[in-house]
Amino acid sequence: MPESNLLLKVCPRCEMAHSKYDTHCERCAKMAKIIQTKLPDIRERWSAGGELDEHEQQLLDHVTNFLERHGLNEKDFLSQAPFDLPDQLIEARPSFQNRLLYFADRMQEEGRQVTTTQAAVKTFKEYVKNKPMDKRIFVDFATDHGVRPLMSADWNQFFSAWDQNDILNLLDEWVAEGSAQTTIETKPEALKSSVEAGAALGITGQAFVELATVNGIKPVQSFGTRPEQLVWRVEDIEALHKVHKLESVINALETAKTTLERVITDLQKPPMKWPQMEAFRLRKKELEDVNVKLEKAWQAFEQEQAKLQNLANQPEKTASRLVRILLLT
């Protein structure tokens, strides 16, 4: 993108670039609010010899540096509220933020609604309080859900523009996952996520969902179709764990059986001399042992399958508090 094309509004006080559609400087307004609401108490305590904590000292230094850096007098600065921006557009430096602002302006001119990464993160935080969210988490979440930005000024996609409809759909997914997590937190000893369930079996969350589906086990609560949006009973997870473990044992025994049968067939090829005859005898004994273990494993598997079937046929037990958690505020 040619630098000469980055035409934006620039604040005459703090020199921050803004969208051509902005009318007031957000940075100056925020700084004025800090000066008027937070600094009076800090300065009064400082003048009286009181101690300031690290945050308060940083805030005081931040305001002082801001005013000095831009040659502003505090009284004159506050008098300029609400900090109007000039109508004239001027060439802005091609920073990540400015490139993003310029692209968003072009999209708005075309009637397209876009959302920035920063704005999306703020929205996601407001809707789901119990899950961490920052730019990295958001970008990874969008990528995992097959959503790409319309434009990105940086490799990390922290300065990106996203289609607003994509963001709304992603928000639905994020809220659903947050609802599932909230449900689990009400009874962590009795409920687990798909990821936790899969980890208990040594498989992925998706693989656990597939295993449960094959065996007719349903989640205790569903907030969507993705593994992260499903909640499972611990008793169901434990039952599936036994079945999964027995399946692994059966697979290993059947593999061993097939290998032994192949070896035995090779040993029977003439001429059979003493070493082959002795090996044949040993392998036959091993095969008999494997068949006995395999029969016992299949019996245990069928018993566990019957238990699973009983669980699958039972009416769903749902605690009233759990099923009513549909959205987070």
Dump pLDDT digits (tens) for 25-59: 999 999 999 999 989 888 888 888 778 888 888 88
Residue 162 to residue 138: CA distance in whole angstroms = 12
Sole residue written with tokens 């969902």: 209
Mean pLDDT, residues 224-241 taken together: 92
**What residues form DSSP beta bridges with 115?**
162
Q: Which residues touch 90 (CB under 8 Å, ≥6 apart)? A: 7, 8, 9, 10
Write down the pLDDT at residue 118: 94
Instruction: Tell me the two tokens of residue 10.
Output: 């620039």
Beta carbons of 290 and 297 less than 8 angstroms apart: no
Torsion, Cα of 249, 201, 226, 211 (10° steps): 20
Residue 17 to residue 246: CA distance in whole angstroms = 64
Q: Which residues touch 312 (CB under 8 Å, ≥6 apart)? A: 215, 216, 217, 218
Coil/strand/helix, residue 221: strand
Coil/strand/helix, residue 165: helix
**Percentage of residues in the chain with pLDDT exceeding 70?**
94
Mean pLDDT, residues 163-188 taken together: 93
Cα 166 to Cα 96, 121, 158, 273, distances in angstroms:
22, 14, 16, 73
Q: Which residue has the higher pLDDT, 309 or 266?
A: 266
Q: How long, in residues, is the chain?
A: 329
Write down the pLDDT at residue 326: 32
Mean pLDDT, residues 144-164 taken together: 95
Coil/strand/helix, residue 117: helix
4: pLDDT strictly greater than 80: no
Q: What is the mean pLDDT of the chain?
A: 88
Dihedral sign of CA atoms 261, 263, 269, 275 in order: negative
Q: H/E element holding 152?
A: strand 151-152
**Percentage of residues in the chain with pLDDT exceeding 90?**
60
pLDDT band at 1 (very low <50, low <70, confident <90, very high): very low
Write down the pLDDT at residue 328: 30
User: Which is nearest to 176 in space by CA: 128, 112, 111?
Assistant: 128
Beta carbons of 29 and 82 less than 8 angstroms apart: yes
Write down the pLDDT at residue 183: 93
Coil/strand/helix, residue 193: strand
Amino acid, res. 78:
L
Mean pLDDT, residues 126-138 taken together: 90
The 10s digit of each residue's pLDDT in 179-213 is 999 999 999 999 999 999 999 999 999 999 999 99
250: pLDDT strictly greater than 90: yes
272: pLDDT strictly greater than 60: yes
Sole residue written with tokens 């540096």: 65
pLDDT band at 247 (very low <50, low <70, confident <90, very high): confident
275: pLDDT strictly greater than 90: no
Instruction: Tell me the two tokens of residue 277.
Output: 């005859």
Q: H/E element holding 282?
A: helix 274-313
pLDDT band at 72 (very low <50, low <70, confident <90, very high): confident
pLDDT band at 156 (very low <50, low <70, confident <90, very high): very high
The 10s digit of each residue's pLDDT in 50-66 is 788 888 888 888 999 99
Write down the pLDDT at residue 304: 83
322: pLDDT strictly greater than 80: no
Residue 237 to residue 184: CA distance in whole angstroms = 14
pTM above 0.75, yes or no: no
Q: H/E element holding 230?
A: strand 230-233
Q: H/E element holding 184?
A: helix 164-186
pLDDT band at 315 (very low <50, low <70, confident <90, very high): low
Instruction: Tell me the two tokens of residue 246.
Output: 């027995």
Instruction: Tell me the two tokens of residue 169.
Output: 């759909």
Residue 329 to residue 115: CA distance in whole angstroms = 21
